[in-house]
Structure formats: C-alpha cells, structure tokens
Amino acid sequence: MEKFEHGGNIYTAPPVGGRWLDFSANINPLGLAPEVRQAIAQNIDGIVHYPDPAARKLKAALASHYGLPQEQLLLGNGAAELFYLLLHMIRPKRVGLPVPSFSDYQRAAEAVGAEIVFAQLRATEDFQVDIDRLQQELGQVDCIFLGNPNNPTGKLLTRKQLAAYLSFSEERGIWTVVDESFLDFLPEQEQYTVRDLVGEYRHLLVVRSLTKFYAMPGIRIGFASGHEALVKRLEQGRDVWNVNSLAQAAGVAALGLKEYHRESRRFVQQEKDWLYARLGEIRGICPLQPSVNFIMAGVADTGLTSDELTARMRRQGVLVRNCANYAGLEGQQYIRLAVRTREENEQMLKSLEAVV
C-alpha cells in the first residue's frame, strides 16, 4: 500500500459486470443536490472566461452562512491545498502530528522539509486526544495539525478543550491548524468549532471542506478562516485562480440549501448509529463510536489483517479504507467505513459477514 494512498479510488477496473460500492471515501450519502447540479449547468458557458480571482459571491455566501467577516476568509482548491499553502508560507522547522490523523498533514510537512514529531494516540483510550499530554509531547514544535473530528478515528475535541490548547499554543507562537472538514455533519457543531476565534488567536487557521458535506469532491472547494493578517499573508502565496468558476457557482448554491443541510445531518446521525450497532454484531469487528459520516473499526479479532480483509472486500466489489498506511496505526489492524444509504450499508454488511 502506498504511503499516502487515499480512499475513493474508483478508477481501477471493478469486478466483471459490476461497479464499485465505495465505502472508502467519506462523502454525504444523500449525494449531489439537484440545485447544485443545476447551478453548474447554468454556469457552464462561463468557463470561456477566467474565474473571479476574489470569488466575491462565494466569499459573501460563506461569510453569511458561517457568520465570519470576509476579511478572515481564504479559499482553496479543496481543503488540502490550504495545508500546503500555509506550510509553504510559514516554513516551519518542526511539525507536530497526533496520530493517526489525515495523511496529507504529514505530506504537506514533508513537502517543505519539516521534521515530523508524532504524538501517538492510544488505542486503550479510543484514540482520543489528551490536551495535557499533547502540550507535553508537542510543546516544542512550530506548527501542529488537529483534526476535529479526527480522520480516521472520528474523535472530537470540544470548543472548551481547543480554547485551552489555543491559549497554550498562542503564548508559544505555535501555528495551529484545526481541520473542521467533517464538522458540518454535526447538528451541534457550535459546541466544537473554533472558526470564530481566529480574531483572538493570530496563529490559528481553521480549515473547512465543502466537498464532503455537499458530495462534490470532484470539483475541489474548501476554505479557511484566519486572522486578517494571516489571510493577507497567505493570499500572497496562492494561485490567483485557484477556485474555478464552476466550483464558485456550486459553492454559492450549496450554502443556500437549508433543508439539504438539515436532512443531511438528520440522516447521517441516524444511519451512523444504526451502522455502528450492526458492525458490532459481526464476529471480530470492533467499531469505534462514530461522530460523523465514517466509522473506524478494528479487525484483528477476525484473524485477518486489514490488508487481507480489504482485498477480500474488493473481490466482493466493495471498497473500504485500509488504515494500514496511517502513521500511528502501523501493525494495528483497522479499516474505515463511510456511512452510506441504508440499502448500500446493508449490502456492505452482507459482504463483510461473508468475508470474515
């Protein structure tokens, strides 16, 4: 398995006569909203022109939806671009990563030649981040990445916990990236977000993805909130036209879909609990309590490695995320499963029961 291989690779040939059932990418199971599809179609003729480099309509929609000043917003070609942009501009010598966590944090750090300092999260604690221990183990780094919820574990830090850490990191000048890419799936997200604290903490960047919640990863769109001085600095390093015109139109349309937002949260909260319970009934599968639209599960008790289990599922036409290449999970047998529709979840469970 490649070091930085992601889920969602549906482009290899599926089983004969079939198609992939993809549980390896964490995308909203309700799919692309008709209004977003329509917005893309209506703006297709506009691709003969350059996109608005300031993305004024999209920034206005984001500011209204998330309650942030436009001066604190930075747009990206997906959330991941913003990790690379920040590190390119600040050039940290040492980057701290609680692991397991999203692999592009490490990849972005390596791209600028930074030393990686890992803080191992403990399986005995369900991989929950301990703020006190984090301060001890990563108190001497220049930059740290925190997923909230963390990918692949799904574990959350409360706003209160994060605020306590931010006071610590700001005092020491540690750049802190809080990745809230999956937080839109939570009905009670205000208990966890720190997007509005960027005016108080000059070394804080809060990153969000629009592609996961709105089921449009192929179009690449994300944003960050940061102190106005930081945003101005990062604007100097980004590609002028990094968000294309179709992505801008899709983002504006998506942010206005209040009923889609409510139904997505309701559906995911209900379905994740059902899937978690069902996974726990399968021999040898040990799921972690999920918070959003994915579930990490230990598979060692099946007698199979995660490599063997994912290979067997592939032969069934089902893609699941093998977690073997996550830093911090080496030699530990885990997979990650997206939460999809009830029919798809039942089909996946049937295949999983067959292979274990």
Percent of the chain at pLDDT > 70 equals 96
Q: Given this model, what pLDDT does residue 19 score?
A: 85
> Using one digit for the tens of pLDDT, what is the confidence trace for 307-335?
999 999 999 999 999 999 999 998 889 99
What is the strand order of the sheet 334-338 is part of? 286-287, 294-298, 334-338, 321-322
DSSP H/E element including 223: strand 222-226
pLDDT one-digit tens code per residue, 228-242: 999 999 999 999 999
Would you state the pLDDT for residue 9? Answer: 59
pLDDT on residue 128: 97
Average pLDDT over residues 140-149: 98
Work out the pLDDT band at 5, boundaries 50, 70, 90: low
Q: Are 92 and 112 in contact (CB under 8 A)?
A: yes
Cα–Cα distance measured from residue 184 to residue 230, given in angstroms and rounded to the nearest whole number: 24
Predicted TM-score (pTM) of the model is: 0.94
For the residues 11-35, what does the mean pLDDT come to? 86
CATH fold for domain 21-31+259-354: Aspartate Aminotransferase, domain 1 (3.90.1150)
Each domain of the chain, given as residue ranges in start order, spans: 21-31+259-354, 34-256
What distance in Å separates the CA atoms of residue 277 and residue 287, rounded to the nearest whole number? 9
Tens-digit pLDDT profile for residues 55-83 = 999 999 999 999 999 999 999 999 999 99
What is the distance in angstroms between the CA of the first residue and the CA of the last residue of the chain? 21
pLDDT band at 4 (very low <50, low <70, confident <90, very high): very low
Instruction: Give the pairing of strands 115-120 and 143-147.
Output: unpaired
Please return the burial class of 105, using the count of CB atoms within 10 Å of its CB with bins 0-12, 13-18 and 19+: buried
Q: Is the peptide bond before 149 cis (omega within 30 degrees of 0)?
A: yes
In sequence order, the β-bridge partners of residue 295 are 337
Q: Considering the chain, what is the average pLDDT of its residues?
A: 95
Fold classification of 34-256 (topology level): Aspartate Aminotransferase; domain 2 (3.40.640)
What is the C-alpha separation between 26 and 352, in angstroms, rounded? 18
